[in-house]
């Protein structure tokens, strides 16, 4: 950590005394364990959302948090059914009225499959 922060600084040109008294953001060590059994820690800000997975620096495999942080369950949108889409456009009361209207037309022989038409039925009977 310390080495990394000093890298790139011009020696002698700058005093690091200024940094005294500055509080560094609080950090935490987060442990991970990969499938190959490599354990490692990643330094993160305490404010960071700890990822459930981290790439193993030794083998590149996906490592899981040893702190028991589970991967966020993917929020799957429930599939919209035809019924859902219908309800977005009409209330159930409206649909009942439409159903009643259509049933009357169907019973009256105005709509529906030909074999249900009263006129046809009459023809068939006679
Ligand atoms: Zn590994």
Length of the chain, in residues: 126
Whole-model pTM: value is 0.41
> How far from 105 is each of 67, 73, 91, CA to CA, in Å?
66, 49, 21
- For the chain, which residues make up each domain, given as ranges? 27-65, 82-116
115 belongs to an annotated ligand binding site = no
Q: Please work out, in degrees rounded to the nearest 5, the angle formed at the alpha carbon of residue 86 by the alpha carbons of 81 and 91.
A: 135
Measured from the Cβ of residue 77, the count of other Cβ atoms closer than 10 Å reads: 6
On whether 38 is known to bind a ligand per the annotation, the reply is yes
The model's confidence at residue 73, banded by pLDDT at 50, 70 and 90, is: low
User: Is 103 a residue whose pLDDT tops 90?
Assistant: yes
The per-residue pLDDT for range 1-47, each reduced to its tens digit, is: 445 555 555 555 555 555 666 677 789 999 999 999 999 999 999 88
68 C-alpha to center of ligand 1: Å? 18
Choices 1.10.3720.10, 1.10.620.20, 2.102.10.10, 2.20.28.270: CATH for 27-65? 2.20.28.270
Rounded to the nearest angstrom, the distance between the alpha carbon of 13 and the centre of ligand 1 is 41
pLDDT tens readout for residues 78-87: 788 999 999 9
* 56 marked as part of a ligand binding site: yes
Token pair of 60 as six digits: 């590149």
Lowest mean pLDDT among 9-13, 76-80, 86-90, 95-99: 9-13
State the average pLDDT over residues 41-57. 91
Return the pLDDT at 4.
Answer: 53
Distance CA 33, CA 55 (A): 10
Token output for 35: 């499938």
59 is in an annotated binding site: yes
């Amino acid at each position: 950590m310390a080495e990394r922060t000093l890298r790139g600084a011009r020696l002698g040109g700058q005093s690091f005394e200024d940094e005294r008294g500055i509080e560094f953001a609080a950090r935490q060590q987060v442990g991970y364990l990969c499938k190959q059994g490599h354990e490692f820690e990643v330094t993160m800000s305490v404010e960071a959302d700890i990822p459930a997975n981290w790439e193993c620096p030794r083998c590149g495999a996906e490592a899981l948090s040893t702190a028991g942080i589970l991967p966020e369950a993917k929020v799957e949108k429930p599939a919209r059914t035809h019924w859902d889409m219908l309800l977005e456009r009409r209330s159930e009361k409206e649909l009942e009225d439409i159903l009643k209207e259509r049933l009357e037309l169907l019973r009256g022989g105005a709509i529906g499959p030909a074999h249900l038409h009263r006129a046809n039925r009459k023809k068939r009977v006679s």
